Structure 1
Amino acid sequence: MRKRLWGFVVGGLLVALLLAGVVSSFASSHPDGLDSSLREGCTFDADDNITGGSCPAQREKDHEVGGPLADYGVAGIDNEFLSTGLSGVVGVLLTFAVAGGAFWLVRRRGPREEGAAGRERAPAGASVRE
């Protein structure tokens, strides 16, 4: 059973890496629901710059902190396809590491591992005699 579980986990990780590394670069560049609602009331030129009107998007500014994975890309890589793919792969690996660590910390321990008092636990259903 453990072999099937590891196969499932590794298969899921590979699918997530494929989607993040390749398919994410083909995602729509059009604004999503939040972005489009913030742009209502403004006019835009061919380069998608605000040219007039009044909308909340006019107060938009870059994030103050920035970071190596800001704006769905890897800082320092000029190729947009590669940069987006790498940021997706790094994000999947970081998420997998954090989630895997959390699951490892809260996992159920088997009956042969030591209990809190330093004694070996008795198997489930067994009576303990002293």
Structure 2
Amino acid sequence: MLVGITILLVFQLIGETAAYFLGGFVPGPVIGMAMVAVALVATGGVAPLQPAHRQTLETSRAILANLGILFVPAGVGIIQHFDLIRDRGLALLAIIVLSTVITLAVTVWAFLLVKRLTGGSVDE
């Protein structure tokens, strides 16, 4: 499993690097996923690479099989506190929208401040 996760992470790193140099047109994990799929198809019949190929497939299957578990705590929390969501849903929605707008504004302000302090042009 360690070999499989290492291979998956290396391909994600390669994908992130490619995305950086391509200007972020396609997300890095998507590039890495496509590259690992091509590599798995290409190395499927190569005898010396069979153990790595098998471990990568087993690791991928294990991750996908357990992916749903990551959503269980959020779902349980929503159902467990549904009465609060029903009673205060509008206030929660307003807070989420307002905090998102404030976060975006502060992020843009911080970016512009750092850009000016480092002598870079904002138009770049």
Structure 2 length-normalised TM: 0.29
Larger radius of gyration: 1
Bigger strand share: 1
